[in-house]
Amino acid sequence: MEVGIDIEELQRIKSAYERFGRKFLDRFLSKKEIEYCLSKKRIIECLGGRFCAKEAVIKIYDGRIGFKDIEIISDGKPVVLVKSKKSNIKLSISHTKNYATAVAILP
């Protein structure tokens, strides 16, 4: 079993988004993920959650994959695609007013 976890301050995500806009999003999200987060009421929390989720998955793979190799889709619960293929990774994403976090487990 492999486990990855990440936590981020949402202010850091907000600052990067305000400074770099779409360029920042394009570095770590797919077009579908961008559309999904920008459709939400709490955009920064969604972006932070996706960022943490991808960092947690990258840790499972010991850094052998990057942000763009991972896509998080929502199907009632988050589903992890790695290099466009559904994975067995279980993912939990959470956030508060100030932080986002994610835990990824590969059984």
Q: What is the pLDDT of residues 69-102, one digit of tens each?
A: 999 998 889 999 999 999 999 999 999 999 999 9
Write down the pTM of the prediction: 0.94
What are the chain's domains? 2-106 (3.90.470.20)
The CA–CA distances, whole Å, from 20 to 13, 14, 27, 66 equal: 11, 10, 10, 20
Residue 48 and residue 58: Cα distance in Å, rounded?
A: 15
Q: Say if residues 87 and 49 touch (Cβ distance below 8 Å).
A: no
Q: Say if residues 71 and 81 touch (Cβ distance below 8 Å).
A: yes
Q: What is the DSSP letter of 80?
A: E
Give the DSSP H/E element, type plus range, for residue 6. Answer: strand 2-9
